């Protein structure tokens, strides 16, 4: 299975949608994230912020 690009995942997605995706509780493009995020809420916020800044 081909992973989704960081830009595709982060661009135009709400914090809520990205949180659900990274915790394997939701899908983006019909796909679930490969592994559930296990970090802290602060770390999750940093990852989401970074994803939303990606251009590709």
pLDDT in tens, 15-54: 888 899 899 998 887 888 889 999 999 999 999 888 888 7
Q: What is the rounded CA–CA span in Å between residue 22 and residue 6?
A: 12
Q: Identify whether the C-beta of residue 13 lies closer than 8 Å to the C-beta of residue 25.
A: no
Q: Residues near 32 by Cβ (< 8 Å), separated by ≥ 6?
A: 21, 24, 26
C-alpha closest to that of 10 among 41, 53, 39: 53
pTM above 0.95, yes or no: no
Q: What is the rounded CA–CA span in Å between residue 56 and residue 41?
A: 25
Q: What is the rounded CA–CA span in Å between residue 9 and residue 24?
A: 13
């Amino acid at each position: 299975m081909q992973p989704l690009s960081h830009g595709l995942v982060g661009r135009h997605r709400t914090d809520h949608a990205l949180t659900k995706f990274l915790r394997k509780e939701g899908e983006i493009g019909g796909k679930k994230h490969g592994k559930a995020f296990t970090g802290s809420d602060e770390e999750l916020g940093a990852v989401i912020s970074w994803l939303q800044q990606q251009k590709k």
